[in-house]
Amino acid sequence: MKEEIVVRPARNSDREAVFKFCEKTWSWGDYIPQFWDKWMKETDGKIFVATISSVPVGMSHVRVDKRKKEAWLSAARTAPEHRRKGIATAIAKECMKYAKRNGAVKARLVTSSDNKAARIVLQKLGFTPIAEFVEMKTEKIRRLDSLKSRWGRAEDLNALWKFLQESNIFQRSAGLYTILFRWYSLTREDLERFLREKKAIVYEGNAQIQGLILIDDSTARMWQENTLQTCYVDGSREAIIDMLSFLLTRCFEAGTRKVYGFACNDESLVSAMKEIGFEAPEGVEIVYEKEL
């Protein structure tokens, strides 16, 4: 007799069972315990749990950006002894129903290129791969010469937005940037915020903007590290090396110990980052999207 899978919003009483089947997600454990309480209190998101015989056997988290009308699905987990029973599919469907009810017109998520099981499930659910990204990193923080890079200014907004609209990397990135492991549509308003917060580095040559790097310090806040990350990297090889030289010098001056380099999986871009001292990526992250 087939076991009945029931999907419902998570309860505080689910945490022990959920944490138990998340213990060995990676060699070091899982980030779920760190985020559980925060997610349970969200007004723009929800944790959904799947149960069999009233026992939690799977979970996932969905969050809706009502301004952009898009949802992000993450933290899909299934108890090892209950895999291949359709649990992940059942939870994902409930997450998408929630997202649509709350105004989202599209849903996205990310999975690694070597996670074949997840990719098969996503295909069955109607998700389409839209962009590939890599996570690189370097602890080679040092002073380097940069000739044409500087912090972006408010008056750069129009030129930067035009640069992005004409950029091949922006197209290959599906117009997305990342903070931690969540990808967002990069809007003109977002770009304006990065400029205002002094988190945009531009490369200017021949009186024209020819490169852009967006950065964020969420890695320091969330992972309790003295680090920062790139959220978006764009430009020619020369521009990328010059902008990263500018960034690493500023990190050296600020005492930052590590930089996570999130970027589009573009061969020349990755090569430029490796040249400046970033470690080669271990794999590729694929962002999937589905219209709701």
Could you please report the per-residue DSSP string of 162-196?
A: HHHHT-HHHHHTTTEEEETTEEEE--HHHHHHHHH
pLDDT tens, 135-164? 999 999 999 999 999 999 999 999 999 999
CATH number at residue 255: 3.40.630.30
Answer with the one of 51, 82, 104 that is the final residue of a domain.
104
9 and 78 belong to one structural domain: yes
Given a cut of 80, is residue 120 above it in pLDDT?
yes
129, part of any domain: no
User: Are 57 and 183 contained in the same domain?
Assistant: no
What band does 101 get if pLDDT is binned at 50, 70 and 90? very high
Q: What pLDDT score does 130 carry? A: 98
Residue 48 inside a domain? The answer is yes
The pTM of this model reads: 0.94
Residue 39's pLDDT is what? 97
- In percent, the amount of the chain with pLDDT more than 90 equals 88
Among all chains, which residue has been given the structure tokens 């070091």?
A: 28
- For residue 282, is it within any domain? yes
Same-domain check for residues 82 and 145 = no
What integer pLDDT is reported at residue 1 of this predicted model?
57
* 124 in any annotated domain: no
Residue 125, classed as helix, strand or coil, is: helix
Using a pLDDT cut of 70, give the percent of the chain over it.
100
- Structural domain boundaries enclosing 32: 5-104
**Distance (Å, whole) CA 150 – CA 38:** 36
109 belongs to a structural domain? no
Residue 6, H or E segment: strand 5-9
Indicate if the alpha-carbon torsion angle 149, 150, 153, 155 is positive or negative. negative
Pair (97, 209) in one structural domain: no
Q: For residues 267 and 224, which has the higher predicted lDDT (pLDDT)?
A: 267
Flag whether 85 is in a domain.
Answer: yes
Average pLDDT in the 109-113 region? 96
Do 100 and 235 belong together in one domain?
Answer: no
Low-confidence winner among 25-34, 70-79, 145-154, 174-183 (lowest mean pLDDT): 25-34
The arithmetic mean of pLDDT across residues 114-133, rounded, is 94
Two tokens, residue 257 = 């110990």
Q: 27-41 as b/e, with b when 16 or more CB fall inside 10 Å?
A: eeebbbeebbeebbe
The reply to whether 119 falls in a domain is no
pLDDT band at 274 (very low <50, low <70, confident <90, very high): very high
Residue 180 Cα distances to 40, 221, 232, angstroms: 20, 11, 12
Write out the E strands in 53-188.
55-65, 70-78, 106-112, 128-138, 149-151, 176-179, 182-185
Residue 220 resides in a domain: yes
Does one domain contain both 138 and 261? yes
Q: In this structure, what are the phi and psi dihedrals at residue 288, rounded to the nearest 5 degrees? A: -110, 155
